[in-house]
C-alpha cells in the first residue's frame, strides 16, 4: 500500500514485514469486507508454550497491533483429561512475557459449551447430525481410507426425535465413556476424510478445570473452534497448515449454524527448528520421563525454558520476524534463532570477567599482599553503561585453555616466554610452568611490566592476545551450567523414537569456576557477557553462598563447528 494513501483507516506501518496473511488482512480492510481486525491465539492447555507457539502468537497479536485491531487469548479447553490449571497459568505468563496483551479479551471454549450444545441440537433438528452407536473401532474402520470411500453407519438414518432423545441422554450422563457419539451427516464418500461424518461430540465423564462435573459430553476441536471464532467475532482465524483439510468442515459448520458472524480460516506453515522437537507430546514425555528437569529446563524449546536460559523476549520476536510467514512447511536452522539471541544480548548484556576452568597464575614481581583497582568498561558500545573497578593482585586465575606449554604456530595466547595482555590490566610474560606429580600444569609463574598499566606499552610494543582473568583473592566461586542442544540429529525423530536421538552431552557442569565480585549482583533472566566466553545469567536455583550460572549462548557458533569436526574425524 502506498504510504500517501491517507484514505485508508488502517494503514499497515511501513516497518511491518509483509506476508500473504497480512496481505489478505489489508485487502479485506481496503475492500471494506472487514471493519476491524480481530484475531485470536487458541492454545490447548495441555502443556507449556514453545517457540513454535511464539510464531503463532507473534502473528496473531502482531497483526492485531499493526492493523489497529485486537487479539483474543482463547483456551481451547475441550479435552479435560489432558488439561491442567498449571498449563493455563504458564500460558498466560508466557504470552505476557513475550510482550503481548489480550486486555479483557480472555476466553475459553468452555465458556461456550451451552451454546455449542444448542447448535448441535439445531443440526440434529435440521437432519444434519445423528447419534452413532458404533464403537470407536467400527467408526475408524468404516471411515475408509484415502483411496477407498467410507461406509454409512447403520445408525445414520435415525429419526430426528430418536437422535434428540439419545443426545440429551448422552448429556445427562446415562451412557458410559465412548458408548455413543454425535456425528455430522455430511458425506461418507467425500475425498476429504474430515467430511466423512466427523464426530462432533463424545461422551467423557471427566471433571473439567472450569466447568467441573457439569458436562458428560465434550465437543470435538472441529465443532468448537469455528463456532468459538464466530461468537467472538474473529475476522481472521489463523492456524497452521495441518488444519487446511479441516477448513471445509470449518466452513460447513459456519454455513449450517445460526452463528453471529462468519469467520474465515487461513493456514500458515508451522515452525520447525533443527536439533529441536516442537511436538507437545514429546515435550511432555521429556518432562515425565525425567530427561529434563522440568518444562522450564533451559534445554527445552519452551518459552519458560528459553526465559530461564536468559533468552530475552525481543530475541524471540526478532527471530520470528526474520523467518517470516509462508505457506510451505520448512525446517529453520536453529543457528538463525541463535543469531537473534546474540544480536539482542550483544546490545544489552553488560560485560564481566569469569574464568570457567581456572589455572592459577602468580605474578612474581608483584608485591605479596598488595592489590589495586583497575577500570573496566561495562559495555564497549554503550558509554552510558559506565565502568567498574576490578581488583588486581599477585595471584590470579586465567582460563586453562588460554595456556599451552608447547603451542602450535598459530597459538598466540600464553605459553612459556610469551607476552600477552591481561584485559584492563598489564602485559605479562610467562616465566615458568609448575606441574603436579602427574605432570599436569597447575600453576604459571609470570612477571608483569608495571609500565603497561591499562593494557598499553609506552614503548609501542604489541602483543598478539588479550586474555581475561580474575583475582584469586577476590573472585567468587561459582558453578556454571553449559547447555548444548538436547538432540544430536538436525531432524530428530518425534513420537516413540525420540530418546534415541537425545544428546548425552546436553549438559556440562563446571563446578570450579571463579567469577569477578560484581557478579554477586547478577540476576536471573538478565544475561551478562562473560568476556570471550558467551552470555550467561544466574539460574533461579542459585543461592548467595553458591552462585549458579547458566549459559544462554556462546559468543560464536562453536558447537556446530565441533560437531562438523567430529564428523570429519569419523
Ligand atoms: P499438538 O502438539 O497437539 O499439535 P499444538 O502444538 O498445535 O498441539 P495448540 O495449543 O493447539 O498446540 O496450539 C495453539 C496454536 O499454536 C495453534 O493455532 C497452532 O496452530 C499453533 N502452533 C502450534 N505449534 C506451532 C508451530 N510449531 N509453529 C507455529 N504455530 C504453531
Ligand atoms: Mg493443536
| DSSP string for residues in 387-428 | EEEEEEESEEEEEGGGB-SS--TT--SB-TT-EEEETTS-EE
For the CA of 49, the closest atom of ligand 1 is 10
- pLDDT, residue 568, reads 67
Using the mean position of ligand 2's atoms as its centre, give its distance from the Cα of residue 302 in Å. Answer: 16
Site of grid cell 463456532: 227
Are residues 305 and 438 part of one domain? no
280 is catalytic: yes
**Cβ(68)–Cβ(10) below 8 Å:** yes
Are residues 356 and 312 part of one domain? no
How far apart CA 250 and CA 263 sit, in angstroms, is: 9
Output the average pLDDT for the chain. 94
Distance linking the first and last C-alpha atoms of the chain: 54
- pLDDT, residue 559, reads 53
For the CA of 278, the closest atom of ligand 1 is 27
Cell of 371: 592489590
Site of grid cell 546490545: 347
Residue 528 lies in a domain: yes
Q: Which residues contact 345 (CB under 8 A, 6 or more apart)?
A: 310, 312, 315, 527, 529, 535, 552, 553
Looking at the CA of 280, name the nearest ligand.
Answer: 1
Total domains present in the chain: 3
Using the mean position of ligand 2's atoms as its centre, give its distance from the Cα of residue 287 in Å. Answer: 19
Residue 161 lies in a domain: yes
Using the mean position of ligand 1's atoms as its centre, give its distance from the Cα of residue 449 in Å. Answer: 61
Q: Is 71 or 567 the better-scoring residue by pLDDT?
A: 71
How far apart CA 95 and CA 107 sit, in angstroms, is: 14
- pLDDT, residue 547, reads 97
Are residues 360 and 344 part of one domain? no
pLDDT digits (tens, 9 = 90+) for 329-359: 889 999 999 999 999 999 999 999 999 999 9
How far apart CA 120 and CA 260 sit, in angstroms, is: 15
Q: How confident is residue 497, by pLDDT bands cut at 50, 70 and 90?
A: confident
Output the ligand 1 site: residues, CB below 6 A.
42-44, 52-53, 55-56, 239-240, 270-271, 278-281
The proportion of the chain whose per-residue pLDDT surpasses 90, expressed as a percent, equals 90
Are residues 168 and 75 part of one domain? yes
Query: What's the pTM value of the predicted model, to 2 decimals?
Result: 0.92
Strand 419-422, strand 466-467: pairing: parallel
Q: Count of CB atoms within 10 A of residue 13's CB?
A: 9
Going by C-alpha positions, the residue among 182, 157, 153, 184 that lies closest to residue 170 is: 182
Residue 41 lies in a domain: yes
Are residues 439 and 292 part of one domain? no
Looking at the CA of 242, name the nearest ligand.
Answer: 1
Are residues 339 and 292 part of one domain? yes
Are residues 127 and 102 part of one domain? yes
> CATH code at 51?
3.40.50.620
Q: Is 216 helix (H, G, I), strand (E, B) or coil?
A: coil
Are residues 399 and 355 part of one domain? yes
- pLDDT, residue 563, reads 59
How far apart CA 352 and CA 527 sit, in angstroms, is: 10
Ligand 1, atom 6, residue with closest C-alpha: 280
Q: How far is CA 36 from CA 28, 70, 122, 441, in A?
A: 10, 8, 30, 70
The proportion of the chain whose per-residue pLDDT surpasses 70, expressed as a percent, equals 94
For the CA of 280, the closest atom of ligand 1 is 2
For the chain, the C-alpha Rg in angstroms (whole number) is 31
**Cβ(245)–Cβ(194) below 8 Å:** yes
- pLDDT, residue 386, reads 97
Residue 489 lies in a domain: yes
Structural domain ending residue among the three candidates 443, 474, 505: 474
Mean pLDDT of 265-270: 97
> CATH code at 445?
2.40.240.10
Strand 387-393, strand 371-377: pairing: antiparallel
Ligand 1, atom 2, residue with closest C-alpha: 280
Residue 527 lies in a domain: yes
435 is catalytic: no
Q: How far is CA 351 from CA 342, 373, 397, 529, in A?
A: 14, 17, 18, 5
Instruction: Name the residue of 43, 47, 53 whose CB sits within 8 Å of the most ligand 1 atoms, as the mutation to test its pocket.
Output: 53
Looking at the CA of 329, name the nearest ligand.
Answer: 1
Residue 209 lies in a domain: yes
Residue 390 lies in a domain: yes
Structural domain ending residue among the three candidates 234, 268, 302: 268
270 is catalytic: yes
Catalytic residue among 185, 196, 202, 280: 280
Looking at the CA of 52, name the nearest ligand.
Answer: 1
- pLDDT, residue 15, reads 45
Ligand 1, atom 14, residue with closest C-alpha: 43
Are residues 462 and 525 part of one domain? no
pLDDT digits (tens, 9 = 90+) for 1-17: 333 333 333 334 434 57
Q: Name the phi and psi angles at 569, rounded to 5.
A: -75, -10
Ligand 1, atom 5, residue with closest C-alpha: 280
User: 302: which DSSP letter?
Assistant: B
Instruction: Name the residue of 100, 240, 269, 283 whose CB sits within 8 Å of the most ligand 1 atoms, as the mutation to test its pocket.
Output: 240
**Cβ(177)–Cβ(231) below 8 Å:** no
For the CA of 47, the closest atom of ligand 1 is 10
Sign, CA dihedral 486-491-494-497, equals negative
Q: How far is CA 536 from CA 509, 527, 561, in A?
A: 14, 5, 21
**Cβ(454)–Cβ(387) below 8 Å:** no
For the CA of 55, the closest atom of ligand 1 is 29
Mean pLDDT of 214-222: 97
Residue 1 lies in a domain: no
Q: Count of CB atoms within 10 A of residue 490's CB?
A: 16
Instruction: Name the residue of 48, 56, 323 whose CB sits within 8 Å of the most ligand 1 atoms, as the mutation to test its pocket.
Output: 56
Mean pLDDT of 492-511: 88
Are residues 457 and 414 part of one domain? yes
Range of the domain at 309: 280-348+478-569
Longest alpha-carbon distance in the chain: 102
Q: Which residues contact 558 (CB under 8 A, 6 or more apart)?
A: none
Cell of 294: 522440568
Mean pLDDT of 477-493: 93
Going by C-alpha positions, the residue among 235, 306, 243, 236 that lies closest to residue 269 is: 243
Structural domain ending residue among the three candidates 456, 474, 492: 474
For the CA of 57, the closest atom of ligand 1 is 16
How far apart CA 228 and CA 257 sit, in angstroms, is: 12
Are residues 222 and 86 part of one domain? yes
Instruction: Name the residue of 39, 40, 43 whose CB sits within 8 Å of the most ligand 1 atoms, as the mutation to test its pocket.
Output: 43
Going by C-alpha positions, the residue among 161, 163, 95 that lies closest to residue 133 is: 163
How far apart CA 557 and CA 333 sit, in angstroms, is: 12
Using the mean position of ligand 2's atoms as its centre, give its distance from the Cα of residue 502 in Å. Answer: 24
Site of grid cell 451451552: 114
Torsion angle of alpha carbons 508, 513, 515, 519, nearest 10°? 50
Continuous segment of H or E residues that includes residue 332: strand 330-332
For the CA of 46, the closest atom of ligand 1 is 10
Using the mean position of ligand 2's atoms as its centre, give its distance from the Cα of residue 301 in Å. Answer: 17
Ligand 1, atom 25, residue with closest C-alpha: 52
Res. 115: pLDDT tops 50: yes
Looking at the CA of 494, name the nearest ligand.
Answer: 1
Q: How far is CA 198 from CA 79, 130, 155, 194, 258, in A?
A: 17, 11, 14, 6, 19
Are residues 244 and 141 part of one domain? yes
Catalytic residue among 93, 151, 168, 270: 270
Instruction: Find the length of the chain.
Output: 570
- Give me the residues paired with residue 481 across strands: 509, 550
Amino acid at each position: 500500500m502506498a504510504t500517501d494513501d491517507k484514505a485508508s483507516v488502517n494503514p499497515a506501518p511501513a516497518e511491518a514485514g509483509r506476508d500473504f496473511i497480512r496481505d489478505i488482512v489489508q485487502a479485506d480492510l481496503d475492500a471494506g469486507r472487514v471493519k476491524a481486525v480481530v484475531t485470536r491465539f487458541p492454545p490447548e492447555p495441555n502443556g507449556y508454550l514453545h517457540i513454535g507457539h511464539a510464531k503463532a502468537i507473534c502473528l496473531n497479536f502482531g497483526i492485531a497491533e499493526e492493523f489497529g485491531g485486537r487479539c483474543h487469548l482463547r483456551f481451547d479447553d475441550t479435552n479435560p483429561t489432558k488439561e491442567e490449571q498449571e498449563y493455563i497459568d504458564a500460558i498466560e505468563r508466557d504470552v505476557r512475557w513475550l510482550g503481548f496483551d489480550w486486555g479483557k479479551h480472555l476466553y475459553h471454549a468452555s465458556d461456550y459449551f451451552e451454546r455449542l450444545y444448542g447448535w448441535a441440537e439445531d443440526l440434529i433438528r435440521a437432519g444434519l447430525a445423528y447419534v452413532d452407536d458404533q464403537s470407536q473401532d467400527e467408526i475408524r474402520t468404516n471411515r475408509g481410507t484415502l483411496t477407498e470411500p467410507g461406509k454409512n453407519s447403520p445408525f445414520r438414518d435415525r429419526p430426528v426425535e430418536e437422535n434428540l432423545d439419545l443426545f440429551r441422554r448422552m448429556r445427562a450422563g446415562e451412557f458410559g465413556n465412548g458408548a455413543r457419539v454425535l456425528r455430522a451427516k455430511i458425506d461418507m464418500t467425500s475425498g476429504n476424510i474430515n467430511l466423512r461424518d466427523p464426530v462432533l461430540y463424545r461422551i467423557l465423564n471427566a471433571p473439567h478445570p472450569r466447568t467441573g462435573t457439569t458436562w458428560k459430553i465434550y465437543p470435538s476441536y472441529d465443532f468448537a473452534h469455528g463456532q468459538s471464532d464466530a461468537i467472538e467475532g474473529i475476522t481472521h482465524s489463523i492456524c497452521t497448515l495441518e488444519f487446511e483439510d479441516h477448513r471445509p468442515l470449518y466452513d460447513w459448520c459456519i454455513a449450517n449454524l445460526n452463528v453471529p458472524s462468519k469467520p474465515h480460516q487461513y493456514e500458515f506453515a508451522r515452525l520447525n527448528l533443527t536439533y529441536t522437537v516442537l511436538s507437545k507430546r514429546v515435550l511432555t514425555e521429556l518432562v515425565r520421563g525425567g530427561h529434563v528437569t522440568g518444562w522450564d529446563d533451559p534445554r527445552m524449546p519452551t518459552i519458560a525454558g528459553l526465559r530461564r536460559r536468559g533468552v530475552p523476549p525481543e530475541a524471540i520476536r526478532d527471530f520470528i520476524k526474520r523467518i517470516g510467514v509462508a505457506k510451505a512447511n520448512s525446517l529453520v536452522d536453529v543457528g538463525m534463532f541463535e543469531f537473534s539471541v546474540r544480536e539482542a544480548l550483544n546490545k544489552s548484556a553488560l560485560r564481566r570477567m569469569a574464568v570457567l576452568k581456572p589455572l592459577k597464575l602468580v605474578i612474581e614481581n608483584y608485591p605479596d599482599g598488595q592489590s589495586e583497582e583497575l577500570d573496566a568498561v561495562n559495555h564497549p558500545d554503550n558509554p552510558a553503561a559506565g565502568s567498574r573497578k576490578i581488583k588486581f593482585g599477585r595471584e590470579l586465575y586465567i582460563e586453562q585453555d588460554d595456556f599451552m606449554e608447547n603451542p602450535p604456530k598459530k597459538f598466540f595466547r600464553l605459553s612459556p616466554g610469551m607476552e600477552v595482555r591481561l584485559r584492563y590490566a598489564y602485559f605479562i610474560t610467562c616465566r615458568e610452568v609448575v606441574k603436579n606429580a602427574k605432570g599436569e600444569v597447575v600453576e604459571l609463574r609470570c612477571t608483569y611490566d608495571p609500565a603497561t598499566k591499562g593494557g598499553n606499552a609506552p614503548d609501542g610494543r604489541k602483543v598478539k592476545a588479550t586474555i581475561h582473568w580474575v583475582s584469586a583473592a577476590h573472585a567468587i566461586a561459582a558453578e556454571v551450567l553449559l547447555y548444548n542442544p538436547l538432540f544430536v540429529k538436525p531432524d530428530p525423530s518425534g513420537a516413540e523414537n525420540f530418546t534415541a536421538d537425545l544428546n548425552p552431552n546436553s549438559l556440562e557442569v563446571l563446578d570450579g569456576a571463579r567469577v569477578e565480585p560484581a557478579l554477586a549482583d547478577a540476576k536471573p533472566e538478565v544475561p551478562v557477557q562473560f568476556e570471550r566466553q558467551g552470555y550467561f545469567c544466574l539460574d533461579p536455583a542459585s543461592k548467595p553462598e553458591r552462585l549458579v550460572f547458566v549459559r544462554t549462548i556462546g559468543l560464536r557458533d562453536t558447537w556446530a563447528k565441533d560437531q562438523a569436526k567430529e564428523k570429519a574425524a569419523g
